[in-house]
A and B are shown apart, each in its own frame.
Chain A
Amino acid sequence: MIEALRELARRLLAEERVRVVIGYGQSSPQGPVHPLFITRAEDAEQLVWNRQCFSNLTAYLTRKDVRALGPAAVVVKGCDERTITVLEKEAQLERERVFVVGMVCEGMGDPGLPKCQVCDRHRPRLADETLGEAVDREVPALERYAALEAFLARPAEQRMAYWQEELARCVKCYACRQVCPLCYCERCIVDKNRPAVIDTSATLKGNFAWHITRAFHLAGRCVACGECARVCPVGIDLTLLNQSLARAAEEAYGFRAGEDPRVEPLVGSWSPQDREDFIR
């Protein structure tokens, strides 16, 4: 698969179909895998593919300095490609300017990340070219939300105590926001200071305000790539927050963000059949 990937990258760059290939690299065979930007066909051999390719590289597609390079190819896993659908639906990228390289994925990490344990998209469906062979496994909704269910089964006071303990550690480094492909706002609400809307202080109040606001802004948009939780230096499981809103969207509207490019986004579309009357 690595060779096929390198060959594809070489071809895309040599034929000038793209100006940059966003993939994974590794500075040494034992070293950590990191995002890599290939702009010359002869550098394609630096690309790697293994079980350490955690990053959701679609986060780079909306960045000004990456866009400035020209049309891009991006290497995605099944979980990552959902963000491309959301970005396209939200008019953040022109799908035809991006060449999506789908990688069949058996899970990242060893043992796999929690999201990989319940993954139902080992094989990307929307890529321009997909490398590798595997069969998808259907995961019933319940299983996908099992961790959330277990958490919600705890009494409210315990859940509040949990969040107070977890969010007390947040230092507001904003790694969660910066790594998120869907946190593409040019000026995040927490950075607005005329007037300030959310306390910038990393106090319990400021941290609750920040994480709750972010979760709400991702409602019906978060694709559960889990990058926010993976990169959090202090180990806060932010996926619990996002998942509770994702589950609400799935239960109430049968909607899963990024799942189907033909379906209009949940927040950004309406239907006269809606059971609430305010819409009519």
Chain B
Amino acid sequence: MSHAIRKEALRALVGSWLAEGKRVAGPVAVGPGRVLYQPLVSPERLLLDGFIRTVNSIKAFVFPRHEELYAYRFRGRQVELIDAPLPEEEQIVIGARPCDAAALPVLDHVFRWGTPDRSYERRRELTTVVTLACREYDDHCFCTSLDSGPRDERGSDVLLVEIDEETYEVVWLTSKGKDLFVRHTERADRKGTIGTGPKRKFDAAALERFLAENFESPVWETFALRCLGCGACAYDCPTCHCFDIVDEGDRHGGMRVRNWDSCQFALFTLHASGHNPRTAQAQRIRQRIYHKFRIYPDKFGDTLCTGCGNCSRGCPVHLGIRPVLEAISALERKPQSAPPKTP
């Protein structure tokens, strides 16, 4: 026996959450073929199928692109500091993909490491993630190459798995998730089923071997000319979490804020002295791969990538993680071969 909810009942349930004044976010179409996680204003706008993945990720709901840390005010020769209020509102993210939800425990490592990040911590507590297992994949998906898959439960509070065109199986994974659904499901004698996910695109073990020995390698140059150096890959990524802290204000005072940042920007590593340790895009691409597949695993025992493929899907020139890892995989298979194809 399992728990199930009819799709129309789910939509009605979302409507009731909104009516109770809860903050709910989910996939919303913002243009032809473009779906983004957005705060929902009505349950009708919630999109549960007909697309592979949203352009953005759910990380914005626990790690917003812009966050006020504290305000400062000049009072004569004194500076007054005013803490920004911590978030208080509960929020529900519905229709997350497993590759989005699985990124949350990955983000936890860094935000809970050392001095815990209070606002991140609070947002995590206040957020309930209702994930929808994937039935469809595209060429960019590579979760299965990283030991994840279309019904990965990590990071989710509830997993919805389609039983048929009208019904989802409801699998609650935490008490927070159970509380949301427990009085709204019916008994079902069928379970949701889905496929095995996208085919494996590269060999993670080969990648590990390669990174151990190839900090200097022509492969990093392979895509450097093509890369435009924008931050679309990092900002669409569920696991990228680099940020910049800046003061914005005037002579009376202002705000210290935390904004998303990307290692693909030339400015990212520019020192105040004018020195820049990463002057070339090849070094920046290498950094992104090393951070995700060597530095982070070494430090936290977890991969800083869930295989969602958003970095490629959103890339203006169709780069991202997968093409680089495929090129590395190809090199590992044929160690004696010629240098990689012209980018």
Q: Could you tell me which A residues sit within 8 Å of B by CB distance?
A: 27, 31-40, 43, 46, 55, 59-60, 63, 65-66, 169, 171-175, 177-179, 191, 193, 196, 199-203, 206, 227, 230-231, 233-235
Contacts and interface: CB of A to CB of B under 8 A. Distances in A.
Nearest to B313: A233
Contacts of A175: 228, 230-232, 316
Interface in B326-343: 341-343
B317 A34 contact: yes
B66 A65 contact: no
A173 B235 contact: yes
Nearest to A228: B316
B173 interface: no
B267 interface: yes
Contacts of A171: 56, 65, 231, 235, 260
Interface string B246-269: 101000000001011010010100
Contacts of A169: 30, 36, 38
A201 B342 CA distance: 37
Contact of B316 (A37, A38, A231): A231
Contacts of B184: none
Nearest to B36: A234
Chain B residues touching A, range: 35 or more
A173 B230 contact: yes
A59 B312 CA distance: 20
Given A65-B281, A196-B246, A178 B228 contact: yes
B150 to A, nearest CB: 22
B343 A179 contact: no
B228 A43 contact: no
B89 interface: no
B117 interface: no
Contacts, number: 111
B66 A202 contact: yes
Contacts of A173: 230-232, 234-236, 262
B230 A235 contact: no
Given A175-B228, A191-B267, 20 more contacts: A33-B318, A34-B319, A35-B317, A36-B342, A43-B341, A43-B342, A66-B225, A173-B236, A174-B230, A174-B231, A175-B231, A178-B228, A179-B228, A179-B230, A201-B257, A230-B316, A233-B235, A234-B36, A234-B55, A234-B56
A236 B56 CA distance: 14
Nearest to B279: A64
B323 interface: yes
B65 A60 contact: no
- Interface hub of A169, A201, A231 (most chain B Cβ within 10 A): A201
Nearest to A227: B316
Contacts of A201: 66, 246, 248, 257, 259
B318 A233 contact: no
A37 B226 contact: yes
A239 to B, nearest CB: 14
B342 A38 contact: yes
B182 to A, nearest CB: 35
Contacts of B342: 36-40, 43, 46
Contacts of B56: 171, 233-234
Top 10 A-B pairs ranked by shortest CB distance?
Answer: A231-B316, A178-B230, A178-B228, A173-B231, A175-B230, A235-B31, A34-B318, A233-B314, A173-B232, A32-B318
Contacts of A191: 267
B230 A65 contact: no
B146 interface: no
B246 A193 contact: yes
B343 A36 contact: yes
A37 B38 CA distance: 38
12 contacts: A31-B139, A32-B318, A33-B318, A55-B317, A60-B225, A171-B65, A173-B230, A174-B265, A201-B248, A231-B232, A233-B314, A235-B31
Contacts of B265: 174
Contacts of A174: 230-231, 265
Given A36-B342, A169-B36, A235 B262 contact: no
Contact of B30 (A172, A230, A235): A235
B41 to A, nearest CB: 11
